Amino acid sequence: MEVHLDLDQNRYSGIPLRQEPVDFCAMSSVFRDYSTHAFEASEDVLLFPRFQWVSLRARAYRWRSIKSIAKDAEKCTKKMAKMPATPHEDIAILIAIYNRLKTFRIFPLSCIPDSLACLFFLVNEGCKANFVIGVRENPFMAHAWLEINGAVANDVVANVFHYTPILETANEDYLRQVSG
């Protein structure tokens, strides 16, 4: 589906396109390999206050428009542009820590606030990530996730494959649309 995002009207529309079948095994994410990263209590305890802060910050986005979410994601993108590249192993360990700490969250977050919380968490730790919102039809649904160097970071590739991205912080055209 070719999708067009209208940030001013807080809506999107799409034109169906035919997709080719994909081999999910070939697309497996490097970050899933670290989901079994050994529990390091001291490491997790040190990052827990930052985790709670970004979770509370992201929770406030439940009532905000796509445009305001996009503007804040753009600010993160500008901040990330100044950061040096972080090794995949370090990012994967941080994502594993984030996923472990989610079990201690006192309130649930849907995919957009959770992906924003993970983005804020990674940015606070000096990592770059691409925040993505995608949509699909039949049944119509929207979903958000993070990508790092093209690999899905905080979700499973099979969960996000059927969604067409309508908002990406790493896309220059998107940044012009938000700024304009």
* Domain map (residue ranges) of the chain: 26-33+40-179
Read off the pLDDT of each residue in 135-159 and give the average, rounded to a whole number: 86
Using DSSP's 3-state secondary structure scheme, residue 173 falls into helix
pLDDT value, residue 28: 46
Stretch among 17-21, 97-101, 170-174 having the lowest mean pLDDT: 17-21
pLDDT at 38 over 70: no
**Residue 94 neighbours by CB distance under 10 Å:** 24
Using DSSP's 3-state secondary structure scheme, residue 139 falls into coil
pLDDT value, residue 73: 81
Distance CA(116)–CA(93), nearest Å, equals: 18
Read off the pLDDT of each residue in 99-105 and give the average, rounded to a whole number: 84
- Please give the residue that has the higher pLDDT: either 145 or 15: 145
